[in-house]
Structure formats: C-alpha cells, structure tokens
C-alpha cells in the first residue's frame, strides 16, 4: 500500500514465515498459533493446556464450548479493531483456522446427518487411474482411519465407509456454520459502525478439503475439491449479485484488492487485477495455473502399491496444472502420472483422458501453454 494512512491488522493463523504479520507491515497482530494470544486467553480463563510444552492440541481446542472457540475469539478482536478504527481507513485480515481437521467442534449436529450429501466420487469404486502419490495418500489415510476407530471413537480424522464420510462431512459443515456465524457478527459490526457503504469485504480460503471425494481427505491434490476455493467480493454500493463463471487465480487476489483501493499494482505481484471482470468490462478470460512441489506425503509402512523406488519417486513428484476458461484441466508431472479432464462433461474428474490419443491435440495445446507460462515465470521444472 502506498497510502500510509491505513490502519492495518492481521488476526488469526499465520503460515507465511517466521517474520510474522508485523514483518509484512501489519501494525496490529493477534495470534492463534502456538503460545500466542488465543492460548494466553484460554489460560487466563482457567483452561489448562493439554500438552507438555504448555500448548493446546487441535483436539483439545476442538472440544471447547462455542464461547471459547477460536472463531469467537477472532470475532471479538475483529470487532474491537473495527470499533476502534471506524473513523480511519483500515485493512483487517481475519484468518480463521476452521474448518479443518480434526473435524470437530461445538456445532457438530447443526446440519442433520440425513441431509449431508456426499460427493459422487465418495460412493463410486476407488479410481485407480490417478497418480501413485494420490493412491499412497489414500492407503495411508485408510490405515489411519482404522487406528482412529480405536483411538478416537467419536471424532475420526479420516474415514473408510460412506457413513464415516458423511459423519465427518457433517462435522466439517458444523465448523463452516461456526465460521459463518462469526463472519456474520463481524459484518454486523461493520454495519453498526456505519461502514457498509465504505468497505470492501472479501471472503476466500487457502485450500479446500476432499472430505471423502475420490476416497481422499485433506488437500495436496489437484482435484477440484482441494484446489477450488470460494472468492466472494462485496463492493460498496453493490446492488445485485453477479457470478463470474470463468476460472480466476488466487494470485490475482492482491492486485485486485489494490485496484479496488485505487492503488497501483506492486512489482512483486505476478498476478493482475480481475476488476475488469467484476465491472462488466470486456475482458478476455485467462488460463489458471497451479503448482505442486514435494512436501510431506505420508506412506503406509510396508506399502505394496509399488516398489520402494517407485514410491520414493512418486512422493517426490512436482506438478504443473492448467485450468482453461473452456473447462479443460491438464496436470503434467515430472515423476508420476499425467492427467487430463474435461470439467464441463466430467466435473468430478472420474475419467482421465490423457492416455487417449483422441485428445492428443488438446494435450499438445495446453502443454505448450504450460511451457509458455514456465518461461514467463522462470520455472525450471522439467516436465
């Protein structure tokens, strides 16, 4: 921000480096990590930490009543900041942890179990025409689910059967409801302070969760359930709802926000503003690119899905993915299976078209686009 009059606050989880929000220009910081402000608040209320290092485990936090939950803590501090700075221009980031594993919270039963709908792929036979790394993830999670049944009979981290998937998703939706309530309270505070017509509100997420889709949980895949996230924008004076059907990239988030605030884009930002799409101006949709770099894929001890050398290779794979405006998704990998899906005809990604010679021209077209993007971003990965 070139305008230094803004008061800035970052409240919630921080996974962007050890320098913390203060190192990135935020003047006011409230932490929910480790020994941070949230833990201090719980201890001040007589809640005993359950870990030897004096911290609270995720399981312990998930079992707290709603008034002691993290969303309520963040809601209070967000409203305090808004009320304090209602006469100042401000930027406030509220970074919720939930919804997240261990898929447990005070509103577990908020959504009736018989109304919880599963993804179509959660009830289909396990699909094998997917990368080995994904199959290794699935095998490890299923093994953990069997252990979960013994260790945590009430709150499973993973599941195996459709009934377990549905129970976990029910609790996940309870966490979504918990967040919705706190977001509603924060927006209510904006309204009480008379700031609705002066405030841009954006709601988004850093990743999704498979929740049993493709018989997987969590993120770390290129499937839509893990990579496609909400991006909701409410503009001052906005009179009607608009849905942008074209895929847009999260890397465009900051340039768009700067554009909305009348600020020029920063040279560090690789993306560009999508405000032309929001403003109904004529704008050509762009391809969206996604990356995966080797991380921490866990493997079941003694796995027989492949030889040890192939397992090690798959775990170390990197992916470059393109999602096109006309509904194609191409995933190219350096050390594992490639994928091609037609999202218009196969939105649940059940048919990998990459090996089919009928789609060779599509693969060639978008492979060229990925290579062009790699050149533009100085990405040296050999695909």
Element (H, E) at 311: helix 308-315
pLDDT of residue 250: 93
Could you give the angle at the alpha carbon of 317 between the alpha carbons of 316 and 319, nearest 5°?
150
Mean model confidence pLDDT for the chain: 93
240 found inside a domain: no
Confidence of residue 61 (pLDDT cuts 50, 70, 90): very high
Q: Which range marks the domain in which residue 270 is found?
A: 249-284
What are the tens digits of pLDDT across the range 84-96?
A: 999 999 999 999 9
47 found inside a domain: no
Cis peptide before 36 (omega within 30 of 0): no
268 found inside a domain: yes
Element (H, E) at 374: helix 360-377
Cβ proximity of 232 and 205 under 8 Å: no
Cβ proximity of 99 and 16 under 8 Å: no
Q: Which long-range contacts (CB under 8 A, 24 or more apart) does 110-114 make?
A: 110/173, 110/174, 110/177, 111/170, 111/173, 111/174, 111/177, 113/166, 113/167, 113/170
278 found inside a domain: yes
- Number of compact structural domains in the chain: 1
What are the tens digits of pLDDT across the range 169-192?
A: 999 999 999 999 999 999 999 999
272 found inside a domain: yes
pLDDT of residue 127: 85
pLDDT of residue 153: 52
What are the tens digits of pLDDT across the range 11-26?
A: 999 998 889 999 998 9
């Amino acid at each position: 921000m070139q305008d230094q009059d803004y008061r800035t606050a970052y409240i919630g989880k921080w996974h962007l480096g050890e320098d913390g929000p203060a190192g990135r220009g935020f003047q006011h910081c409230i932490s929910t990590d480790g020994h941070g402000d949230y833990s201090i608040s719980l201890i001040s209320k007589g809640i005993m930490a359950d870990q030897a290092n004096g911290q609270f485990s995720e399981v312990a936090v998930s079992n707290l009543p709603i008034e002691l939950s993290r969303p309520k803590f963040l809601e209070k501090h967000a409203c305090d900041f808004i009320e304090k700075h209602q006469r100042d221009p401000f930027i406030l980031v509220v970074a919720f942890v939930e919804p997240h594993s261990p898929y447990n919270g005070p509103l577990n039963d908020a959504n009736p179990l018989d109304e919880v709908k599963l993804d179509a792929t959660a009830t289909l036979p396990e699909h094998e025409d997917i990368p080995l790394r994904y199959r290794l993830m699935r095998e490890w999670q299923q093994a953990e689910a069997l252990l979960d049944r013994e260790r945590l009979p009430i709150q499973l981290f993973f599941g195996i059967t459709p009934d377990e998937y549905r129970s976990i998703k029910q609790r996940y939706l309870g966490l979504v409801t918990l967040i919705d309530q706190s977001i509603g309270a924060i927006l209510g505070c904006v309204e009480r302070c008379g700031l609705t017509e002066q405030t841009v509100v954006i709601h988004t997420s850093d990743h999704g969760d498979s929740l049993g889709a493709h018989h997987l949980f969590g993120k770390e895949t290129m499937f839509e359930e893990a990579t496609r996230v909400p991006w909701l924008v409410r503009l001052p004076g906005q009179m009607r709802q608009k849905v942008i059907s074209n895929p847009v990239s999260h890397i465009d988030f900051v340039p768009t926000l700067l554009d909305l605030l009348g600020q020029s884009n920063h040279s560090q930002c690789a993306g560009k503003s999508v405000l032309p799409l929001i403003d109904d101006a004529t704008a050509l949709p762009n391809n969206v690119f996604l990356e995966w770099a080797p991380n921490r894929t866990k493997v079941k001890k003694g796995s027989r899905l492949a030889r040890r050398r192939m397992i090690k290779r798959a775990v170390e794979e990197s992916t470059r993915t393109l999602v096109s405006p006309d509904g194609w998704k191409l995933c190219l990998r350096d050390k594992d299976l490639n994928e091609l899906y037609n999202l218009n005809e196969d939105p649940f990604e059940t048919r990998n078209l990459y090996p089919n010679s009928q789609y060779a021209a599509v693969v060639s077209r978008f492979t060229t686009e990925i290579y062009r993007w790699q050149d533009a971003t100085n990405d040296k990965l050999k695909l």
